[in-house]
Chains A and B, each alone.
Chain A
Amino acid sequence: MTEAVRLDAVAKDYGPVRAVDGIDLSIPRGQTVALLGPNGAGKSTTINMLLGLLEPSAGTVRVFGDSPTGAVRAGRVGAMLQESGFAANATVRELVELSRALYRDPLPTSEILATADLTGLAGRRLDKLSGGQSQRVRFAFALAGNPELLVLDEPTAALDVESRQAFWAAMRRYAATGRTVLFATHYLEEADDFADRVIVIARGRVVADGSGTEIKKLAGGRTVSFDHDGADPARLRGLPGVLDVRLRGERAMLSCDDSDATVRALLADGRGWRNLEIVGAGLEEAFLTLTATPGKE
């Protein structure tokens, strides 16, 4: 069994809303994978199904060949959820000790505290922690059992830059031990810096899957737009450097991975395109390009 996670045609509906729309996914053991997507893309829903907190409306989820709940009960999964609270009036150490006691083969307490950078806070009560500290405690709770698969849902949301760096340093130490790590984020930088593989999710579907560099190339493109004057979209798509063409009213919008070549070709074309604009496509833009449904603009 070399596969840690497998999703086959997984979908989830909330009433009439389809949050996850047919995701197929296979994550081999030992990989650090980022689930990248804008808010509302279906990342958290996917993660909750992966952990057995939600039942998929369709499709199957397997974790180490077992059902999600089975894998969780067997102590093979540790997870850090968004904004999950703690029992009040317990201390950091007590919480870590509780987590250790629930798993068969936990990490030593001192190692957990050191990894999550909590050594100085062990005696602190959980309701007396800052946001960043709480987040590190969630991380400590998730990794205490030394799980084979660690799942983190937007672990650095609400952290300042310094805490964020400290957190990723801790995460890197853990991933270096050969464990499988899956984390959700909406920062491309994080995904690129810390994951071996980036899976982009938008509108409940996988829209891209590759190394950080590959995804960055997709997301780092530019949009060239101009008054199209009734030009044929198919011809525009044939220009060098163009990935996709959309017509919006008077404007033609070209998603480009090499806008320099596209612009050179446009100028050489001799048709005198008017109101030419070149803008860098942000991640959001890239997601939209990747998920644009033809004919439904």
Chain B
Amino acid sequence: MRAYLVFELRRLVREPRMAIFTIVLPVLIYSISSGSGGTVGDVTVAKYLMVSMAAYGALVGALSVGIAVSHERANGWLRQLRITPLSPTQVVTVKALLASLLAIPPVLAVGITATISQGVEFSAGQWVALAGLMWLGSLPFAALGLALGFALPPQLTQPVSMLGVFGLAFLGGLFVPVEVMPKALAAIAVWLPSNRFAELGWSVAGEHAPPAAGIAVLAAWTLLFGGLAALSYRRAAAQR
């Protein structure tokens, strides 16, 4: 399994297009919109938006694995892997790990931008906590990406993933804070994984532990998406 992970990592490094793609938009949006002062709850807007955009980029990164999976399924590469000693579980695990790794570059990029342009100050411990939590917290999105990749043909996976990203980001309060959302939308937002994912980061910025309810919501979505991924994988495997 290690060999397969190394093989995949090398491909990732060789073609950093996806990683760059996950960085550009969040950094751009952050640079445009973080000028205003004030606070959201107990966090300054500069820090709040830094986390929002990092979470948005992480979402794009984690979901993007589905597009690759869908191509590799269509062209037969995943089938070829199935007739090696590598087990399907190992393949899926490596893919999920890669997906979650793609969540890290945007967190770093937006963090650096925030530090330079807005003078955001985080302690070393906060940076580590932020990166670590955003990495772990991206798991449900990695699972969702895999579920889409195994279920949909390549030409559909990309638009559906993008729709998912924007829907989750918008409704989850990454573009517009939940605090200023209409009541009905805000009520939905707190049940979404994207909101609870960003909440991990906002908690770090506010220097307190993330609420247990948030972690429970994230865990529930992880189980749901993980189950969907397993189901769609089994169906895909049965088809070819």
Which residues from chain A sit less than 8 Å from chain B, CB to CB?
51-53, 72-75, 77-79, 81, 83-90, 94, 97-99, 101-103, 138, 141, 145
Contacts and interface: CB of A to CB of B under 8 A. Distances in A.
A99 B77 CA distance: 13
A84 B80 contact: yes
Q: Report whether over half of chain B's contact residues are helix, strand or loop; otherwise say mixed.
A: helix
Contacts of A52: 82-83
A98 B3 contact: yes
User: Which secondary structure dominates where chain A touches chain B?
Assistant: loop
Contacts, number: 75
Interface string B9-26: 011001100000000000
Interface residues of B, number: 24
A295 to B, nearest CB: 37
Interface of B: 2-4, 7-8, 10-11, 14-15, 71-72, 74-77, 79-80, 82-87, 240
Q: Give the residue among B10, B76, B83, B86 with the most A Cβ atoms within 10 A.
A: B83
B79 A84 contact: yes
B10 A102 contact: no
Given A81-B76, A101-B2, A145-B84, 7 more contacts: A75-B84, A84-B75, A87-B72, A90-B14, A101-B4, A138-B80, A145-B85
B108 to A, nearest CB: 23
B11 A72 contact: no
B84 A102 contact: yes
B10 A101 contact: no
A79 B77 contact: no
B85 A87 contact: no
B75 A85 contact: yes
Contacts of A74: 85
Contacts of B76: 81, 83-85
A53 B240 contact: yes
A98 B77 contact: no
A85 B85 contact: no
A77 B83 contact: yes
A102 B3 contact: yes
B79 A81 contact: yes
Nearest to B3: A101
A52 B87 CA distance: 12
A81 B2 CA distance: 25
